[in-house]
Amino acid sequence: MEGEIYIGNKEIAVYLGALRIQSDSNDSVVIKARGKAISKAVDVSQIAINNELKEWRVSDIKIGTEEKPYHPVENDPFPGKKVHKASFIEITISK
């Protein structure tokens, strides 16, 4: 079974706690992040592996660019823009 953790604006300790909980019931956990949160996802995976889940290893890393439809707003600073692009990372750690 595989768990998932989405990295956002919270403190790293919050995600480490979630990772500990996911690791109790799953053989692997995917840590996902987009944009500015990518560096935090890398930090979470490395802190967990080096300090808490020492028997776990990074088994897969996926990186890329995700495209989503752009929805203009009033006084849009990007008139004519049709697609929003964001970088992403998915780090799979497993036993």
Q: What is the pLDDT of residues 45-60, one digit of tens each?
A: 999 999 988 899 999 9
**Alpha-carbon span 29 to 11, nearest angstrom:** 19
The pLDDT tens digits of the residues spanning 13-66 come to 999 999 999 998 999 999 999 999 999 999 999 999 999 888 999 999 999 999
CATH 3.40.50.410 for domain 2-70+78-94, yes or no, is: no
Report the C-alpha gap between 87 and 72 in whole angstroms.
20
Given a contact cutoff of 8 angstroms between Cβ atoms, the answer to whether 37 and 89 are in contact is no
Residue 1 has pLDDT above 70, yes or no: no
Looking at the DSSP bridge assignments, the partners of residue 92 are: 30, 60
